[in-house]
C-alpha cells in the first residue's frame, strides 16, 4: 500500500538512510505527501552535508588555531622564567590580536620590572645607607629617654630640696623675726639699764658727797673731842691740885677734898669717854675714808660701765638695724624660695611630660627602626625577585 510505503520510508529516513526516496506517481494527497517527504529528505541530506563541510572546516580552523597557539606558547615560554624580552609573532591572523595584547602586556611588565629594579635598588641602597643612622637615631632616642628620666629624677630631687629650703627659709624667717623682736625688747631693756645706771651714778655721786660731808663732820667731832679731852685733863689736874690744897687745909678742907675727888673721877671718866669717842670717831673717819675711796672707785666703774653700756646700746642699735635688714631679706628669700618651689614643681611636671614624650618617641623610634629593617629585608627580597626578570639592556 502506498501509505504503508511512506511510513516505512520515514522510518528509514529517521534511522539515517537519507538515500531513501518515495515514488511520486500521482498528484493526490498521497503523492503530495511522498513529494514532501522526498523534499524534506533531500533538505536534510543537504543540511547534513553542509554541516559536515562546516565541521571539517572548523576542524581545520581548530587545528590551525591550535598550531598557532602552540607556536605562540613556544615563543613566549621563556617569559615564565622571567625573560621579558620575548615577543609573540604576529604572522598568524587567528591569534594576532592575542599576540599583540600579549606583547603589550609583556612590554608593560618589562617597563614595570625596569622601574622596580631601579626603585628597589635605590630603596635598598638608601635603606642600607641609612640603616646605621636610623639605628643610631633609635639608640640616641633611647639614650635621650634615659637622660630625660635621670634628669626627671634630678629635678624631682631638686624640687624636694627647694621645698625643704623653702620650709627652712620660712622657719628661718620666723626665727629671724623672733630674733628681731628679742633685739627690740633687749634694746628697750638696755635703755632701761642705761637709765638705771645713770640714776645709780647720780645716787653714788650724791652718796659720795654725803660721805665727804660725814668725814668733815667727823673731823670736827674729832676736834671737839680733842678739846674736851684737853678740858678733862685740865680738870683732872685742877682736881688734884684742889685735893692737895684741901689736904693742907686739914679738917676744913675735907668736904672740898671729896668734891675734888669726885671732880677728878668725873674728869677721868670724861677723859675715858672722850678717848672712846675719839677711837670711835677715828674708826668712823677710817671707814669713811675707805667708803670714799670705794665710792670714788664705784663712781669710776659706774662711769666706765655707763660708757660701755652706751657703746653696747649703740652696737645693739646697729644690730637692731642690721637685724631689721636681715629680717626683710629673709622675708624676701622666703618669698623667693616659695616662688622657686612653685616654679620647680612646674618644671617637674614639664619634665614628667617630656620624659613621657621621650619614652613614647623612643618606642616609636625603635618601632620605626624595626620597620625599616623589615622593609630593607622586603626590599632586598623584592630586588632579588625582580632581578630574576630579564629585560632589555
Please give the pLDDT value at position 54: 93
Model confidence over 123-181: pLDDT tens digits? 667 766 666 776 777 677 777 777 877 877 877 787 787 777 667 767 767 777 787 77
What average pLDDT does the chain have?
A: 75
> d(Cα 169, Cα 158) in Å, to the nearest integer?
16
Judge whether residue 393 has pLDDT over 60: no
Q: What pLDDT is stored for residue 56 in this prediction?
A: 93
Residue whose C-alpha is closest to residue 204's, from 292, 135, 273, 314: 292
Confidence check: pLDDT of 71 > 70: yes
Higher-confidence position of 311 and 222? 311
8 Å CB contact between 288 and 214: yes
Residue 140 is predicted with a pLDDT of 78
Task: Say whether pTM exceeds 0.85.
Answer: no
Burial class (CB in 10 A: 0-12, 13-18, 19+), 274: buried
Q: What is the pLDDT of residues 275-286, one digit of tens each?
A: 787 777 777 777
Q: In the prediction, which pLDDT does 26 show? A: 77
| 178: nearest Cα among 357, 34, 323, 392 | 323
Give the pLDDT confidence score for residue 253 in this predicted structure. 62
Q: How far apart are CA 374 and CA 341, in angstroms?
A: 48
Q: Which cell numbers hold the place of 43? A: 533538505
Question: What are 190-200's pLDDT values in tens digits?
Answer: 677 768 777 77
The pLDDT score that the predictor gives to residue 57 is 92
Distance in angstroms (rounded) separating the CA atoms of residues 295 and 302:
10
Which comes out higher in pLDDT, residue 63 or 384? 63
Residue 94 carries which DSSP code? S
pLDDT of residue 92: 66
What is the three-class DSSP state of 160?
helix
CA-nearest of 289, 290, 301, 283 to 204 is 301
Q: Which of the pair, 9 or 201, is modelled with greater confidence?
A: 9
| Residue 151, CA distances (Å) to 139, 145, 155, 339, 344 in order | 18, 10, 6, 21, 13
User: For 50-70, how does the pLDDT look when each residue is reduced to its tens digit (9 = 90+)?
Assistant: 999 999 999 988 888 787 777
- Between residues 279 and 368, the one the model is more confident about: 279
> pLDDT digit string (tens) for 316-356?
678 778 777 876 777 777 677 777 777 877 877 877 887 78
Whether the CB-CB separation of 313 and 194 falls below 8 Å is answered with: yes
Predicted confidence at residue 379, as pLDDT, reads 67
User: What SS3 class is residue 29?
Assistant: helix
How long a stretch of residues is the chain?
A: 393
Mean pLDDT of 365-369: 70
pLDDT tens-digit profile of 239-256? 777 777 767 776 666 666
pLDDT digits (tens, 9 = 90+) for 209-246: 777 777 777 777 777 777 777 787 777 777 777 777 76
Q: Work out the percent of the chain whose per-residue pLDDT is above 70.
A: 77
> What is the SS3 assignment for 146-159?
HHHHHHHHHHHHHH
Helix axes 29-76, 2-15, angle to 10 degrees: 0
In which band, very low, low, confident or very high, does the pLDDT at 109 lie, cut at 50, 70 and 90? Answer: confident
- pLDDT tens by residue, 256-271: 677 667 777 776 777 7
Residue 261's nearest CA partner among 277, 247, 275 is 247
Instruction: Give the span between the Cα atoms of 289 and 211, in whole angstroms.
Output: 8
The residue that leads in pLDDT, 315 or 33, is: 33
Q: Is 95 helix (H, G, I), strand (E, B) or coil?
A: coil
Q: For residue 90, what is the enclosing H or E element?
A: none
| Mean pLDDT along residues 383-391 | 63
Amino acid at each position: 500500500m502506498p501509505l504503508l510505503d511512506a511510513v516505512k520510508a520515514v522510518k528509514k529516513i529517521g534511522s539515517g538512510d537519507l538515500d531513501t526516496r518515495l515514488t511520486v506517481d500521482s498528484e493526490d494527497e498521497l503523492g503530495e505527501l511522498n513529494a514532501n517527504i522526498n523534499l524534506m529528505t533531500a533538505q536534510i541530506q543537504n543540511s547534513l552535508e553542509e554541516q559536515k563541510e562546516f565541521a571539517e572546516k572548523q576542524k581545520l580552523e581548530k587545528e590551525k588555531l591550535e598550531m598557532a597557539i602552540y607556536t605562540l606558547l613556544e615563543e613566549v615560554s621563556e617569559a615564565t622564567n622571567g625573560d621579558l624580552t620575548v615577543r609573540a609573532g604576529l604572522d598568524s591572523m587567528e591569534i594576532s590580536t592575542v599576540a599583540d595584547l600579549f606583547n603589550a602586556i609583556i612590554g608593560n611588565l618589562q617597563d614595570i620590572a625596569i622601574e622596580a629594579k631601579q626603585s628597589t635598588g635605590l630603596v635598598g641602597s638608601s635603606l642600607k645607607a641609612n640603616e646605621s643612622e636610623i639605628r643610631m637615631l633609635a639608640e640616641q632616642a633611647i639614650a635621650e629617654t634615659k637622660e630625660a628620666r635621670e634628669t626627671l629624677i634630678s629635678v624631682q630631687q631638686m624640687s624636694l630640696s627647694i621645698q625643704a629650703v623653702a620650709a627652712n627659709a620660712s622657719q628661718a624667717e620666723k626665727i629671724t623675726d623672733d630674733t628681731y623682736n628679742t633685739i627690740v625688747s633687749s634694746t628697750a631693756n638696755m635703755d632701761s639699764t642705761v637709765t638705771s645706771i645713770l640714776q645709780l651714778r647720780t645716787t653714788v655721786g650724791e652718796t659720795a658727797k654725803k660721805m665727804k660731808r660725814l668725814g668733815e663732820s667727823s673731823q670736827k667731832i674729832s676736834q671737839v673731842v680733842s678739846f674736851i679731852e684737853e678740858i678733862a685733863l685740865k680738870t683732872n689736874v685742877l682736881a688734884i691740885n684742889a685735893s692737895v690744897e684741901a689736904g693742907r687745909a686739914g679738917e676744913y678742907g675735907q668736904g672740898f677734898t671729896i668734891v675734888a675727888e669726885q671732880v677728878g673721877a668725873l674728869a677721868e671718866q670724861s677723859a675715858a669717854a672722850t678717848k672712846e669717842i675719839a677711837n670711835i670717831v677715828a674708826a668712823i673717819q677710817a671707814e669713811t675714808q675707805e667708803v670714799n675711796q670705794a665710792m670714788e672707785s664705784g663712781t669710776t666703774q659706774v662711769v666706765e660701765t655707763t660708757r660701755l653700756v652706751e657703746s653696747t646700746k649703740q652696737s645693739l642699735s646697729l644690730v637692731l638695724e642690721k637685724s631689721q635688714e636681715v629680717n626683710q631679706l629673709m622675708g624676701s628669700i622666703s618669698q623667693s624660695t616659695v616662688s622657686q618651689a612653685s616654679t620647680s614643681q612646674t618644671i617637674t611636671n614639664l619634665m614628667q611630660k617630656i620624659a613621657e614624650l621621650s619614652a613614647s618617641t623612643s618606642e616609636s623610634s625603635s618601632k620605626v627602626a624595626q620597620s625599616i629593617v623589615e622593609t630593607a629585608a622586603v626590599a632586598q627580597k623584592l630586588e632579588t625577585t625582580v632581578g630574576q626578570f630579564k629585560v632589555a639592556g
